[in-house]
Structure 1
Amino acid sequence: MIESRKSVHERYLGHRTTYEMALWLLFYLANTTANSLVALIEMRRRDPAFPAWEPVVWESSSTLLMLALLPLVVWFTRRVPLHWDNWRRRLPLYLLASLVFSVVHVGGMVGLRQLAYAWMGGHYDFGPVLREFFYEYLKDVRSFAWMVAIIEVYRFILRRLQGEASLLDLPDSGPPVEPVDRPDRFLVRKLGREFLVAAADIEWLQASGNYVNLHVNGRDYPLRSTIASIGDRLAPDLFMRVHRSYIVNLDRIVSIESLDTGDARLHMKDAAVIPCSRRHRAELRERAGASDSSRVA
């Protein structure tokens, strides 16, 4: 019954990684099949006896390296995100990343082709290295750009579906109705609608690249900020940073589980388990009024 009440978006998020992997695999499988057929048709126009396995090796070797590099591209775009206000500064980094991408792609692709040709009793000749690499880089830089574009558009759509938070701005004239330095509420935009979320309703916050996810009633609302910046603006009597990537609402902690490493796990009211580093553990126990009796088995 609970599952049936979830929206399509919420059900998708529950299996997001599986869906993402399946979509990328289907995309590259279709692309590899189509490119192999096109290459085979072109080669057999010149030589009707041209072996069908060679175009398959060419395309599948490239695809395998693309799939292997995909997680690194996702990581890079999360670590160095592009925005309208920073794309000029970060373009050189992306061009450098595309060069590294191409070096790894071409090197791995050639290695796989040489192994496949040797297996079939043949020999693969890449040709003049500089000329052929330049040719491959021209293709790879477009592939890299398309991968980045697809990833960023996908993230943009997800943020719009789940809602995106922002701090309340200063009014154009007159004093603010609510404090801005210590916000009591956050503005959330979702599918063209705007509503306010009380700061006290935020259960915990997690850093994610140039965003901080506000976890509220089972939903995550990305706020464009750093964890340090937003931590300085939250009420210190209610929120505390417990890890380099997490801030928690002290009222939402159920128990503190001590670990042998000196770190701890925080069990929250929403059943989430948040890591607490050893440098914050003593302060947390003092502020939360916890004791060793709060240890969870």
Structure 2
Amino acid sequence: MNQASGHARAKEPWRRYLPWQGGIEVAFWVVAFAIPAIANTMVALMDAQRDGHVLPAWQPALWEGSSALVSLLLLPGLLTLCSRWPMHADTWRRRLPLYLGASVAWSIVHVVGMVLVRKAGYLLLGEHYEIEDWLRRFAYEYLKDARTFALIVIVDHGYRWFWRRLQGEARLLDPPDDGSATGQEVRPERFLVRKLGREFLVAASDIEWLQAAGNYVNLRVRGRDYPLRSTIAGIAAQLDPDRFVRIHRSYIVNLDTVASIEPLDSGDARVHLQDGTALPCSRRHRDALRARLGTPAATA
């Protein structure tokens, strides 16, 4: 049964995609900026030919290429912003000013960066590149950059939303509304997982470990990650303390899955699980973990 289910999981399309995910994402963004740059270069050359102007091909290629290059260099920062402070239905009002400010910063750095690249390119070719009215030019560029910025945010949020739905997204089951838990702390015994329109239950005891991921906490269950909308501190307060223990600012582990603790020279530790997974354990949580497992504390 376990072997068959393992083969079934291995055949899931999103699992086959995982080893290629990073490369495909990088290629997507490179192509997304390269195609418009090439198209705009060709349009500029055709417009110049139509109007009877002599325009060396390297000039529009440098204009468009410098813009695309600087945008790609800025892209990791914007994607990090989207990951750490995503906008959702319950957060967009609070985070909209952050994104507006980031769009201005993006445009300023983009304009300055592409101008420097163009100056260097013109200099190498024995020409001179100059902008006369910086304020007017920035206003013009910001209108374009704001659209690009917004499109990147929309694409990234949509991609993350689809990826969570493809993997499956968890949420806490609502406590029973019968008054029986009044005055008592209710701890979730099961989580409801929604995946591609289907719902099923995951027992809390089946969770192997949890990892903070921005506004989400990934629940690792039998080799699968299920994102849960929560903070790591919020979910830690609701889990059974006899079973789950915090080992790092970003990790919680199920004590039943721990195989060994490997001390490190830095004072931190590495927690090895029964399935071979290794998780980081910070020094502030190391001794507490040892005590919970009944392992003598290190004397170092």
Fold similarity call, TM over 0.5: yes
How far has the Cα of 1:7 moved from its partner? 1.4
C-alpha separation in 2, matches of 1:100 and 1:93 = 11
Kindly tell me the number of residue pairs found equivalent between the two proteins. Answer: 291
| Residues 81 and 210, structure 1, Cα contact 8 Å, conserved in 2 | yes
Counterpart residue number, 2:147: 142
Q: Does 1:94 align with 2:99?
A: yes
TM-score norm. by structure 2 comes to 0.92
How far has the Cα of 1:292 moved from its partner? 7.5
Counterpart residue number, 1:248: 253
Deviation track 1:132-154 (CA, whole Å, cap 9, x = no partner) reads 00100111011000000000000
More moved, 46-55 vs 220-229: 46-55
Counterpart residue number, 1:284: 289
Deviation track 1:168-218 (CA, whole Å, cap 9, x = no partner) reads 1145x53579x9831011000000000000001101000011100001111
Counterpart residue number, 1:80: 85
| Residues 41 and 64, structure 2, Cα contact 8 Å, conserved in 1 | yes
| Residues 175 and 186, structure 2, Cα contact 8 Å, conserved in 1 | no
How far has the Cα of 1:231 moved from its partner? 0.2
2:124 to 119, 128, 135: 119
C-alpha separation in 1, matches of 2:274 and 2:140 = 56
How far has the Cα of 1:47 moved from its partner? 3.7
- Superposition CA RMSD, Å: 2.0
Residue type of the alignment partner of 2:70? L
How far has the Cα of 1:5 moved from its partner? 3.9
| Residues 169 and 180, structure 1, Cα contact 8 Å, conserved in 2 | no
C-alpha separation in 2, matches of 1:4 and 1:286 = 36
TM-score norm. by structure 1 comes to 0.93
Residue type of the alignment partner of 2:111? V
Deviation track 1:19-42 (CA, whole Å, cap 9, x = no partner) reads 111111122221211111112212
More moved, 180-189 vs 100-109: 180-189
5+ unaligned residues in a row in structure 1: which ranges? none
Q: 1:129 to 1:48 in 2, by over 3 A?
A: closer
C-alpha separation in 2, matches of 1:209 and 1:5 = 27
C-alpha separation in 1, matches of 2:12 and 2:217 = 23
Q: Percent identity?
A: 54
5+ unaligned residues in a row in structure 2: which ranges? 1-5
How far has the Cα of 1:126 moved from its partner? 2.1
1:259 to 261, 264, 275: 264
Counterpart residue number, 2:3: none
